[in-house]
Amino acid sequence: MRREVPLRRSLLVRLLAVSVLVSIGSIAATAWLTARSTTVAIRQEQGRALADDARVYDTLLGYAATHHDWDDAGDLVRRLAADTGRRITLTTEQRTPLLDSDAEPRTAALPSRPSAVVDPLSADATPGHIDPRAVGPYRLTRKERDDLRATAQRRALCLRRTFGVDAQVTESPNGRPALTTGGAQPYPETRCPSPVLEQPTTTERRALAALEKVTGTCLKRKGEPAVRVNPDFTWTREPAPVAPGAPRTTASTGGTVSTCLAAARREQLGPYVAPPALLFISSRGGGVSTGFDLSPANQARIAGVAALVLLFTVTATVVAGTRLSRPLRELTEAVRRTEQGGAPRVEVKGRDEIAHLAAAFNAMAERREQLEHLRKAMVSDVAHELRTPLSTIRGWLEATEDGVVAPDRELISSLLEEALLLQHIIDDLQDLAMAEAGELRLRREPVEVADLLAQVATAHRAGAEQAGVTLRTRADGGLRAFADPVRLRQAAGNLVSNAVRHTPHGGAVTLHARRDGDHLLIDVADTGTGIAPADLPLVFERFWRVEKSRNRRTGGSGLGLPIARKLVEAHGGTLSATSTPGRGSIFTIRLPAGVCGEEQG
């Protein structure tokens, strides 16, 4: 079949393009989200690793500040390794192993650079910065600690009672208690004095004296005078007396004193702390965790996976698009054959939307075929209905023109009757066309239903008596309708005319108005021949007659019932029919509550 849709506009190509774009977007979004999530995870992992490394370093530094060697640190190292999930190794500065958390330390090589140097006398890799936990000879004896703690507690109680200060007793690394007031306002020192807390103990004085001696020796070598060292390791110097006439020397700088003091402190604390050690913190197995690795091999894997996803997407789209476009092409071909005058059907497969579309197309084709048959039948019926009176009029006029028949009153009356029949058919067709087009205008007003039935009966009583049919009316009391009286009488009149026409001599036609809930019902019942069940659904079709011979004596134009139904539907109601062959038929007009109502007294 010749391709009528350009390839770039075909459904298959569109589906393929959309699926490829969606796949590329999905892959890009997934890659971006994965990379971002991995980056965040790496940063979080790095943060946790740094926190763990800092905790390991601080714990080992505290151990080194309070022990003179590393002999008993094995359990501590293994516990820290278990908590952090890392390998912890301690070596000398010459990389001689001291401690290793792994059971077989020789199986994994150490990193090239240490994570830190554990030296309490140079903490945080800062020369001269001594870890405060390294107290050595400054550690108080038990008796000194107990005496000072009791004094500090008495002072804290005094501050709470006297000034309302929330004073708490804390303990420094060497065991000396101290008071913390949580940032309280200054208070008079004279109310709760405790001078013993500010004075060094015997142990501290002895250690400070030894420190002053070593510091003085250092300063003497540099030609500097000795200094006094305070308990907080600050220093003071009193000016030396100068002999009269002697030259004045320049005072030394504070840097020289600080250097000698720091060296003296390291010398004094050296025997009490563990020797410096190199700290190695690495992942299990010895390698250093590198996090996310976007190596060329990994990039190739990512590209391969993306290509596979695209290939699968394209294949699935081609298969789905082919299965989707094939029935659409069949429907297009069927529509083309329909335009050429046929009524083709398409095969319905499955229960998806395309199958529903095919079923709807088949139903439309069937309905179109039925409508085409009805159209042809209607044209034939209209031609037949118009041909008979026109032929009669033409025949009599030709006979009159030829002088065969005299143009008397009887001939004119016959011609007038045929002309009125033509006018009646044309009016019926016009009313039906207006009703079907929704252009039928109603002039609604309150109508007494009993009076309306009486008017209908009066209009058709003469025809009924001539046919030997009794015409009766019956209406429940107080029934009113808000409707167009002319059109409602026309609908009821068509039903009565049809009932009289199909009721034999001696029969009866009854008009009965009644209420059924919120609806008004008008029944037109006859005792005629009835309608066969197979013909009952066709009674409201245009030009349909029970009598196939289309005899004027047994049938009208075939438009009365369709017009009656359209008039009732214009009022928002329905018209239905029930029949029992041999016993008669009942045609029922049902009007909704908005059209009918009871008379208010």
Mean pLDDT per 10-residue run, the chain (601 residues)? 56 70 75 73 77 90 90 90 88 89 66 87 73 90 90 86 83 87 63 81 90 89 87 76 45 74 89 91 59 62 75 76 74 76 71 74 79 70 71 84 83 81 74 68 87 89 89 88 87 89 91 89 91 82 60 58 85 90 91 59 34
pLDDT of residue 196: 82
Q: Are 509 and 496 in contact (CB under 8 A)?
A: yes
For 204, the token pair is 């501290």
C-alpha span between 541 and 356 (Å, rounded): 29
Strands of the 445-448 sheet, one edge to the other: 445-448, 479-483, 596-598
Q: Are 261 and 255 in contact (CB under 8 A)?
A: no
Parallel/antiparallel/unpaired status of strands 584-591 and 116-118 = unpaired
pLDDT of residue 141: 92
pLDDT of residue 113: 87
Query: What is the reported pTM?
Result: 0.46
Q: What angle, rounded to 10 degrees, do the helices at 560-570 and 409-436 form?
A: 40
pLDDT of residue 406: 83
How crowded is residue 282: how many other Cβ atoms within 10 Å of its Cβ?
A: 19
Placement of tokens 């190794």 in the chain? 89
pLDDT of residue 5: 54
Phi, psi of 256 (to 5 degrees): -65, -40
Through-space distance between the first and last CA atoms of the chain, rounded to whole angstroms: 78
How crowded is residue 48: how many other Cβ atoms within 10 Å of its Cβ?
A: 12
